[in-house]
Amino acid sequence: MIISISISELTEEVRKLYLEDKISSVHIDYAPSCLVGWVGKKDKMKEVIVYDFSKFAQLINKHKDYHIYKAKTEIIINIL
């Protein structure tokens, strides 16, 4: 399954960080059903919710293998 998230669907704050390439280690957090990443320097990292799926779906870790591709105008999640 492939999920495509346009950057226009991100909050303004997250979109700015994404376009500036300041979000690292983007991954799925299954407990809150969110796509999350980290912002900041090594000693002051802050977790940020990139996209919240909980409004319309409950993600389960049945499919443990996935790849996330960060394109300029979208985030693509390929669940294997």
Q: At 6, phi and psi to the nearest 5?
A: -70, 145
Per-residue pLDDT at 63 exceeds 70: no
The answer to pTM > 0.75 is: yes
How long, in residues, is the chain? 80
Q: What is the pLDDT of residue 31?
A: 87
Q: Please choose, from the candidates 76, 66, 14, the residue with its C-alpha nearest in 3D space to the C-alpha of residue 39.
A: 14
Q: Which amino acid is at 31?
A: A
Q: What is the pLDDT of residue 2?
A: 92
